[in-house]
Structure 1
């Protein structure tokens, strides 16, 4: 049996500039929400696992091959925005979370 997701509204879609991220506290968890282009949104943990600082939302969005990633502003590790996998050091991967747009609001459900 699948458990229903608990969605939390973060902000209006237009509050996130394309190709940037914002941070939010969702169910006690620091979450980074990214807008890639005009309509694609991703959510991962915001805590950089190497420094324990809440900074991933401030990283630069780019790509490595076909993967859309964010580079940590501190240690420059790259995190896949779809999966949370750390490209350079898999042991430093973070959780990816469900994200959707509903009624003009960006919503996240933490896993």
Structure 2
């Protein structure tokens, strides 16, 4: 029997790495995970959605975004860096306070109760 993978081609091309069990993520909090050289900040919002961004604050160079304050700005989920307080969109990684500044965004999924990050 032949089966087809119905996921988008961009998602099939990712290497999925397990970060932690879903129950370890508290709503409105972030956690950091290290995959080789990539530091990823993973967030669970109050509505249960998961987001993953690069953990390094682009202005300070410190790996602290996972410790930022999670909230929203005009309905868009954001994390505010604990260093210089800039807010980054959890959806697309852009800084809402400084034009042209952004952090990487990662695909995130739950598979068998485990949070997984899609890496290239």
Q: TM-score interval w.r.t. the shorter chain? A: over 0.9
Q: What is the correspondence of 1:90-109 to structure 2 with a 5 Å cutoff?
A: 90-109=99-118
**Aligned-partner Cα distance in 2 for 1:25–1:95:** 14
Number of residue equivalences: 111
- CA drift of 1:109 comes to 1.0
- CA drift of 1:38 comes to 5.1
User: Corresponding residue for 2:91?
Assistant: 82
- 1:73 paired residue among 82, 90, 101: 82
Partner-residue secondary structure (3-state), 2:100: helix
TM-score by length of 1: 0.93
Which structure 2 residue ranges, 5 or more long, are not aligned?
Answer: 1-8
Q: Which deviates more, 98-107 or 88-97? A: 88-97
**Aligned-partner Cα distance in 2 for 1:66–1:27:** 34
User: Which structure would you say has the larger Rg?
Assistant: 2
User: Corresponding residue for 1:30?
Assistant: 39
Dislocated runs of 4+, deviation >4 Å: none
| Structure richer in strand, relative to its length | 1
Which structure 1 residue ranges, 5 or more long, are not aligned?
Answer: none
- CA drift of 1:66 comes to 1.9
- CA drift of 1:27 comes to 3.8
